[in-house]
Structure 1
Amino acid sequence: MILASPPRSRESRIVRLLELDLLRGQGTPLSAWKNSRHLARLPLIDVEELVPGQARAVIIAPHPDDEVLGCGGLLQLLTQLKRPLQLISVTDGSASHPGSKRWTPARLSAIRPQESAESLRRLGLMFGRLKWIRGGFPDGAVSEHEDELAAFLMRYLREDDVVFTPWRHDGHPDHEAVGRAAVAATHLVGAQLHEIPIWTWHWAGPEDSRIPWDRARKIPLDIWTLARKRHAVQAHASQLLGDPDAGIPPTLGPHVLERLLQPFEVVFQG
């Protein structure tokens, strides 16, 4: 999850700056979400209903860590059901610490995929069952390559897939571009798409009308599934550490993690 350089056009630059402004500060406190009437009333959904039969689940992650932050519990439950899994990492996450001499783009492009591999191992995923594809798109500038990304995704999707991607209005420019590309690709292929809020928990309010509550479903996570997800998140050391010398705070600060490590995950059904 990155906050990096803007795209070229003045119009897109203004939009991007407005989006990034949503992600600043401490965001909506966890206590507000715990008191949300909308969240409390969300219907539960069973993973077997979400990904039926022997359908393949495809997780599309803008950056290395989004797969565990958004659906680390879901991945565990799908593994227990022996569903085939495909993970598509769109970028290598190399722009997460702009201007840092400690976390340079070259270092991040090498270490962040390694962090994802360790995180997936901690989730208990069998790599013989998980197919992992790395897209190599530029971190922080996915919106400039949206059509190219949609075409790329189409090469790896099948009609009977169930696809999970960040919500197309998640607030982070890369997340939104990936969401839009996934919508386009799944529409053309005929696959089923579900969207996942990640940064939404930061900028939205607990009764926010911009959230598609009518499409939202809650996946409950038991204490062991949540503990494993929490352990997996800790593998992303680069995101847990900022760079004080460059004035860069951790991307995954405590206030971010507490919202993403609740005993449930939410999907917006397609």
Structure 2
Amino acid sequence: MMRADALHAAWRALPQAADERLLTSSRPMILAPHADDETLGCGGLIAELCARGRPPLVVIVTDGTGSHPNSATWPPSRLRALREHEARAATAVLGLPDPCLGFLRLRDTAAPREGDAFEAACRAIALRASACDTLLAPWLGDPHCDHEAVQLMARRVADGLGARLLSYPVWGWLIEGATSVDETPPVAGFSLDITRHLPRKAAAIRLHASQYTNMIDDDPSGFRLPEALLSVFEQPRETYLEAR
């Protein structure tokens, strides 16, 4: 166990290095629990890989319909279409060709962690990832049920394919400092310098407008990305962890 503040310090202290294996010789798949996680956690990496002519595969696992469940003007079918439109627009800004983006459309806030539905999701991911040798998924300790589920799926698929697995923290950055987290030092991984891609990443984040603006204004309980989280991803580096 570690305190979250110590873990955050360890993440920030990871060596800043261009992982040549990831950037030059692998075919990665990025698994995002929701439309926007791909941009928040990996937007700079996506832009760098696309600039090198090596676009990754990006798969968004859930349908995004849990963000505003009480909206009358944005019922689930319309909200799902909006979230997918935002994802296509955002990843296009990062340089990703549209055929490299896919959607599994599992129900938001209900991504399975076990059982038949979990196995079916893993098979669907494995089918898409058959030519991939690296998978990226949210950090297991991210305090969101869908993020944890997608990491578990990635572990299953990576084991089956013999692929490398990297993790990227999203909500983990907001865990309060004194909180104990289930992590054992040393923390392994690297940070990627995304300075030259930061304007693209910022523009891509803005295209997920349903998640941080008042676009959907008829659900007082609706989700909104907190400023504290957005500020994390304004930094010119992204964190990637070696999953163990």
TM-score between the two structures when normalised by the length of structure 2: 0.85
Q: Give a deviation string over 1:155-178, Cα, whole Å, max 9, x none.
A: 122365211111122111001001
Match of 2:173 among 201, 204, 217: 201
- CA distance in 2: counterparts of 1:221 and 1:200, whole angstroms: 20
Residue of structure 1 equivalent to 2:37: 66
Residue of structure 1 equivalent to 2:69: 98
- CA distance in 2: counterparts of 1:131 and 1:220, whole angstroms: 23
Higher relative contact order (CA 8 A, sep 6+): 2
Q: 1:244 offset after TM fit, Å?
A: 5.4
- Verify the 8 A CA contact 1:60 1:89 in the aligned structure 2: yes
Which stretches in structure 2 are left out of the alignment for 5+ residues?
none
- Verify the 8 A CA contact 2:28 2:133 in the aligned structure 1: yes
Q: 1:38 offset after TM fit, Å?
A: 2.5
1:57 aligns with 2:1: no
Q: 1:86 offset after TM fit, Å?
A: 0.9
Q: Give a deviation string over 1:82-136, Cα, whole Å, max 9, x none.
A: 2142111112211111212243222211111000111012112234xx5222112
Match of 1:134 among 103, 107, 128: 103
Letter in 1 for 2:238: E
- Verify the 8 A CA contact 1:68 1:119 in the aligned structure 2: yes
Match of 1:124 among 95, 106, 110: 95
Residue of structure 1 equivalent to 2:155: 183
Residue of structure 1 equivalent to 2:226: 253
- CA distance in 1: counterparts of 2:67 and 2:199, whole angstroms: 26
- CA distance in 1: counterparts of 2:232 and 2:222, whole angstroms: 18
- CA distance in 2: counterparts of 1:252 and 1:37, whole angstroms: 23
TM-score between the two structures when normalised by the length of structure 1: 0.78
Describe the SS at the equivalent of 1:185. Answer: helix
- CA distance in 2: counterparts of 1:255 and 1:248, whole angstroms: 19
Residue of structure 1 equivalent to 2:237: 264
Residue of structure 2 equivalent to 1:232: 204
The RMSD of aligned alpha carbons is 2.5
- CA distance in 2: counterparts of 1:73 and 1:207, whole angstroms: 29
Describe the SS at the equivalent of 2:53. Answer: coil
- Verify the 8 A CA contact 2:88 2:101 in the aligned structure 1: no
Report percent identity of matched pairs. 31
Residue of structure 2 equivalent to 1:165: 137
Q: Give a deviation string over 1:121-155, Cα, whole Å, max 9, x none.
A: 2112234xx52221121111102632221121111
Q: Give a deviation string over 1:210-257, Cα, whole Å, max 9, x none.
A: 4565223211121x3111101100001110135554323552232220
- Verify the 8 A CA contact 1:240 1:253 in the aligned structure 2: yes
Letter in 1 for 2:109: G
Deviates more, 1:76-85 or 1:42-51: 42-51
